[in-house]
Structure 1
Amino acid sequence: MESAAVRQAVADAHRREWARVLAATVRVARDLDLAEECVQDAYVSAMDAWLRQGVPANPGAWLTVAAQRRALNAHKRAATLRSKLPLLVVPDAGDDPGDDAGEEIPDDRLRLVFTCCHPALAREAQLALTLRLVCGLTTDEIAHAFLVSEPTMAARVTRAKKKIAAAAIPYRVPPLEQLPDRLDAVLTVVHLVFTTGHAAPTGPGLVRADLVDRALDLARTLCALMPDEREARALLALMLLHDARRATRTAPDGRLLLLEEQDRARWDRPQITAGLDLVRAALRGGRPGRFALQAAIAAVHTEAPTYAATDWRQLRGLYDLLLRAWPSPVVALNRAVVVAMSDGPSAALALVDELAADPRLASYHYLPSTRADLLRRLHRLPDAADAYRAAIALCDNEVERAFLESRLASLPE
């Protein structure tokens, strides 16, 4: 078989199967680092084996067996060392270590998300570990998602692993009655997986469909697991409404299309209907949470027959509520975009200039790109050009960078 075809098959299996393979290997390895090492070795061995034998019909199953065998062999070779390592699953006395203590959670990947979101770990560590282990993201990709430098993120992940080892934190699957205590962290992780796929921070494509689909699968499983949790329904609604536009976000030639340029007739109407039903359910029964408010914002955009007919005043009110519920600089920046439509670009520019002092947005290319667009609309063209250049320097996604470069080139001399 051609080596290029095998490399592509391994890459596809990494995108699609990493989380399932790792989660299944964790049960056998019972140690976080060992499981990750065995899975990485399995992917390396797949290159040689698939060249000789051909790509198997079920690459995920092949990789899982290969990784689990490595874990079992490691246990046989290093029983004494293994007793000094933090166990991911600590069986009760008399239990078979291979038994599944978490049958309440039907998806191995979601089970691993819950274990990574152990309350003894800081929220940033929970999120970073989950993105690394469940999604297989690189340190650089995770750093982009958190708006920090790669060395900072690498240190954060290392500290989290050291805490697991030093404190001997047992990663047990919590019983159903304890799941709500970890729900917010889990929802945050799933949302971050989705946003990382919806607008890929790096690479040649605008969307990483594997991450989007993985997040949707996890959200659906969460809703089935906890059907009474309004924020779980809200998160699924938010993702469905955003993803309904997937086919219209780029032109046939790969060019980025803004919301105002997208063909709304091509949006996924069944997915929108499902999302709107979930939004209505999430908004009933008390004060809405941050995911319900974001889903409501997405619903306003989705229900507008045209971009010009969007209810910008309603959106501004929803963003005001969201900013109080979730005081994030990214939320504030998105609110400024809505202010530009409701009150004009000058009012929005003042808000964006205030946000420019926030160090959390120092590497966030959407800040200078938003500022550039506002300056362009105000006919401050030299300042707009400088802002576009700043955004281009920070942007590592090729589709978005090409869009920014075309905007810069279109400015009059």
Structure 2
Amino acid sequence: MTFNRRSFLGAGAAAAAILSAPMVRGQGKPRVVIVGGGAGGATAARYIAKDSKGAIDVTLVEPTRSYYTCFFSNLYIGGFRDLSSIEHSYGTLASEYGVNVVHDWAVGVDRDARTVSLAGGATLPYDRLILSPGIDFVEGAVPGWDVSAQNKMPHAYKAGSQTELLKAQIEAMPQGGTFVMIAPPNPYRCPPGPYERISMVAHKLKAENPTAKIIIADPKQAFSKQGLFEEGWNKHYPGMITRIGPDFGGGNVSVNADEMTVDVDGEVIKADVVNVIPAMKAGRICDMAGVSEGNWAPVSGHTMQSRIDENIHVLGDATNQGDMPKSGFSANSQAKVAAMAVRGALTGSRVFPAKFSNTCWSLIDTDDGIKVGATYEATDEKIAKVDGFISQTGEDADLRKRTFEESVGWYAGITSDMFG
């Protein structure tokens, strides 16, 4: 079947019928290439391989051999987990599910030939391509900062060495020193949420450096779970945290990495640690593939197919899909929808209507957990929120502890769902 752009964009009602017939080039097994081995890509690889029972050849391209989850990385900074607890390998995907795991960088996509080029020189053909590259940063978003400055002013928004570096810098702060975060504009990857990170930094400093100060320069008028965080900060870290919103210059910020200074609307702050979290965009491979519009890749919520190329699906943080936040839970949920759609397209298996869910947990202090979440459904225009829930201010300690314990159970469950 051949799509033009207009018929594809309006294909919501007919999505199940469209995907019911195999669409495979040539002979032999259909081939799926997945770029990015996080919550979206690893989940998609596992589900396609598992549910197709070997009928589809699945290749996962991911440069790192050990994957560190952004979700729960803030808890490592706060001292609640060690780094190894957020580290995962791809061995089970390969050994038990037959996924061909290639540790290399994808550096190009030829949409006409349907091939992915790798930095090592290999070329991978595909019948369907899934892109789940996470985020990159918008160049020039914070004047004075680019990735060459990330060792002096880390972002720690790609977990692993950056997370270790930020924690080490916090531990090396002088007594009474100053920690500054440059918070990102919307939309941004969450977790690792900026405001949970502030809570975890405050938790660590309260124990080790109680006279230290934390400043947030924030371009947003408001942020998710704001009342809950501010209640928690006043309770656990009184006087330690100052947030400068846009009305007071939080959106007019530049930095000098060599001098370790932050200029907030003309006022220069000398800092000991600066956590710069710039504006974000889809991972670079989306631009290389030509499936981005602006900073993000538009997709159909029914199948997570690109609205630019129906042979490509895009997942997670990189997407412009509607109401879902850019979270690991969201990417995992979207991956299952995409896996079902891909399997239906390539093998003729049944495709059910897309349903999605998300919960984002945050830890404010020991056993003080909060959450926000929702369920979603696909419409022809977007992934639309159906209903939601959020923790309430004033909740008792037992409920907050149960909320945190729930998040720990979720972490164990989602990482098993991703990596097997």
Decide: shared fold, TM above 0.5.
no
Report which of the two has the higher share of helix.
1
More strand by share: 2
TM range, normalised to the smaller chain?
under 0.3
Identify which of structures 1 and 2 has the higher relative contact order when contacts are C-alpha pairs closer than 8 Å and 6+ apart: 2
Q: State the TM-score, normalizing by the size of structure 1.
A: 0.28
Q: Which has the larger radius of gyration?
A: 1
